[in-house]
């Protein structure tokens, strides 16, 4: 009789807009744990097929040992929270990560959902993983600090620098809801849809991929083309497009594509 193998255990820290669909996707063939900060969050995790753990870092870390006990993979999707924490964002973010340190042992594969924001807004042209980081916001500075902290603490680490996320409940045209016009309309967009991001994360988890990877759609239409199409699809009149930005950054995800993973 052959011994049956247990499914790999994945612990997802932060089950929000990206973490919960990832949990749902993995629940069919993995044992899934998800962290939450509310009873409704726990209910959503259970409904998606996962086991909830009440964790709010750094203050409420009591369930971390059980959350990570025997886990094969940890996915960290905590956002840096620049709007909430302002100039203290890096301090807050590193203090939220600190309780993880004793658990980042050999054999635990760690994924961190970083952001292409680490390259900053001033960079132009093609941006690869070797492009120097140049963070220019509270959130992107904290994200760079988190990447550095995780590189020091997690022996088996995948840093995934995601482009702007869109999908259910996050229509890209809403990014400009408070604006009269869409600025730099000739600039290329650097986005990734929720489903494709989830598929990429699943691939990284199942292949135990490590390293730094940009995750962004291969095509980079101009904002004018992309958002024009979205307004038309939504049956809404487009906001005025202001010219400029044509030399803007194009996030290149060739390194990920060469792994033979899913389309971004
Ligand atoms: N949005 C984008 O365009 C974009 C682009 C690039 C990268 N990213 C990155 O992608 C990741 C996922 O983003 P998302 O849109 O899914 O974020 P989200 O919807 O805000 O979800 C974040 C989750 O983390 C939880 N959380 C926040 N702070 C926590 C803390 N201190 N302790 C424990 N749990 C905490 C939240 O709990 P509650 O539900 O209780 O608040 C929520 O469930 C983030 O790392 C983000 O930086 C996002």
* CA-nearest residue, atom 28 of ligand 1: 78
Position 1 in a domain: no
240 Cα: distance to centroid of ligand 1 (angstroms): 31
* Domain housing 87: 78-173+189-226+250-257
Position 147 in a domain: yes
pLDDT (average), residues 109-135 = 97
Position 73 in a domain: no
Q: Is 41 in the pocket of ligand 1 (CB under 6 A)?
A: yes
Does the N-terminal peptide bond of residue 50 adopt cis geometry, omega within 30 degrees of 0? no
80 Cα: distance to centroid of ligand 1 (angstroms): 8
- Site to substitute for ligand 1 among 22, 42, 77, 82, most atoms within 8 A of C-beta: 77
Position 241 in a domain: no
Beta carbons within 10 angstroms of residue 125's beta carbon: 10
**pLDDT value at 259 more than 80:** yes
Position 194 in a domain: yes
Position 61 in a domain: no
The pLDDT score that the predictor gives to residue 177 is 87
Confidence of residue 4 (pLDDT cuts 50, 70, 90): low
Domain count for the chain, please give it: 1
207 Cα: distance to centroid of ligand 1 (angstroms): 24
**pLDDT value at 185 more than 60:** yes
Q: For the segment 200-212, what is each residue's pLDDT rounded down to a tens digit?
A: 999 999 999 999 9
Q: For the segment 48-60, what is each residue's pLDDT rounded down to a tens digit?
A: 999 999 999 999 9
- Site to substitute for ligand 1 among 79, 100, 114, 217, most atoms within 8 A of C-beta: 79
Confidence of residue 7 (pLDDT cuts 50, 70, 90): confident
**pLDDT value at 96 more than 90:** yes
For residues 154 and 114, the answer to whether their CB atoms sit within 8 Å is no
By the 10 Å C-beta count (0-12 exposed, 13-18 middle, 19+ buried), 203 is classed as middle
Q: Is 193 in the pocket of ligand 1 (CB under 6 A)?
A: no
- Site to substitute for ligand 1 among 11, 13, 15, 18, most atoms within 8 A of C-beta: 18
Position 209 in a domain: yes
Position 178 in a domain: no
**pLDDT value at 1 more than 80:** no
Percent of the chain having pLDDT more than 70?
98
**pLDDT value at 222 more than 50:** yes
Alpha carbons 193 and 168: distance in angstroms, whole number: 9
The pLDDT score that the predictor gives to residue 3 is 54
CATH (domain of 148): 3.40.50.720
Alpha carbons 28 and 250: distance in angstroms, whole number: 35
pLDDT (average), residues 112-131 = 97
CA-only gyration radius of the chain, Å: 19
Confidence of residue 2 (pLDDT cuts 50, 70, 90): very low
| Ligand 1 atom at shortest distance from the alpha carbon of 77 | 45
The pLDDT score that the predictor gives to residue 175 is 87
Q: For the segment 28-79, what is each residue's pLDDT rounded down to a tens digit?
A: 999 999 999 999 999 999 999 999 999 999 999 999 999 999 999 999 999 9
pTM recorded for the entire structure: 0.96
Average pLDDT over the chain reads 95
């Amino acid at each position: 009789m052959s011994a049956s193998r247990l499914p790999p255990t994945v612990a997802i820290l932060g089950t929000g807009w990206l973490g919960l669909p990832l949990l749902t996707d993995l629940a069919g063939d993995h044992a899934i744990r998800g962290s939450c900060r509310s009873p409704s969050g726990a209910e959503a995790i259970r409904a998606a097929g996962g086991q909830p753990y009440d964790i709010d870092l750094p203050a409420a870390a009591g369930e971390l040992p059980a959350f990570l006990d025997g886990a094969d993979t940890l996915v960290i999707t905590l956002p840096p929270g620049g709007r909430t924490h302002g100039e203290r964002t890096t301090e807050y973010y590193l203090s939220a990560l600190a309780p993880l340190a004793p658990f980042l042992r050999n054999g635990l594969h760690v994924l961190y959902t970083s952001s292409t924001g680490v390259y900053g807004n001033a960079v132009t042209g093609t941006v690869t993983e070797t492009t120097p980081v140049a963070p220019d916001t509270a959130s992107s500075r904290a994200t760079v600090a988190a990447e550095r902290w995780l590189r020091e603490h997690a022996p088996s680490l995948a840093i995934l620098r995601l482009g702007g996320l869109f999908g259910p409940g996050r229509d890209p045209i809403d990014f400009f809801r408070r604006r009269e016009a869409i600025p730099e309309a000739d600039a290329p967009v650097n986005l990734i849809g929720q489903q494709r991001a989830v598929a990429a994360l699943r691939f990284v988890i199942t292949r135990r991929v490590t390293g730094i990877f940009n995750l962004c759609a291969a095509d980079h239409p101009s904002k004018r083309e992309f958002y024009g199409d979205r307004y038309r699809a939504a049956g809404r009149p487009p906001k005025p497009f202001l010219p400029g930005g044509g030399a803007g950054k194009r996030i290149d995800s060739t390194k990920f594509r060469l792994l033979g993973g899913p389309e971004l």
